[in-house]
Amino acid sequence: MRALVLVLTLNAAAFALTPAEEAKAKEVAREYIKDHLKAPATAIFSKETLCAPLGKPDSDEANGGPTPECKPQTADQVGDAADAVIYRASVDAQNSYGALLRTRYQLMVYVSKGKWGVIDSAEVVNALREGCKALNESARLTGKPRQNCDAQYPGMK
């Protein structure tokens, strides 16, 4: 499963998307996913939802926990980078061998200075995992205790 959301800052007030913003958020997320598929033309999106970021429950899902309930946004509009939505979807697409595979995605979609952006939680987790491994290598050289990177990031092997 490709999922984890690293939320550094969140506005305390949640927000509601206008229909145009909701459509744009989904379009941005779909394009991001298609850019990372072997056969983007075969992509079939289902179970698409836009939810308010939940922080720890979203992170727990990425580590193999249950999918948190989708909480709707409640304020006016997407703010300037302080606010984001969590896009969740299942995507059926062909792999390199032509087999149709289903992958669940969870992305953070946000607006910063008028531009839409995506944070792919899988890439964040992989970066954290690689950082953990690098720290372990340093710890090995200095004789310090090492961390179990596989236990810390089990969802993203």
Q: What is the pLDDT along the chain (157 residues), one digit of tens a residue?
A: 444 343 333 333 345 677 888 899 999 999 999 999 999 999 999 999 988 777 777 777 766 677 778 776 654 444 434 468 889 999 999 999 999 999 988 888 988 888 889 988 777 777 888 888 888 888 888 888 888 887 777 654 3
Which domain covers residue 109, as residue numbers?
19-120
Residue 143 maps to a domain: no
Q: What are phi and psi of 125, to 5 degrees?
A: -65, -45
Tally of domains in the chain: 1
Please state the pTM of the whole predicted model: 0.69
> What value does the CA radius of gyration of the chain take, rounded to a whole number of Å?
17
User: Strand 100-112's sheet: what is its strand order?
Assistant: 44-51, 84-94, 100-112, 115-120
Check: CB of residue 89 under 8 Å from CB of residue 119: no
Check: CB of residue 120 under 8 Å from CB of residue 32: yes
Residue 25 maps to a domain: yes
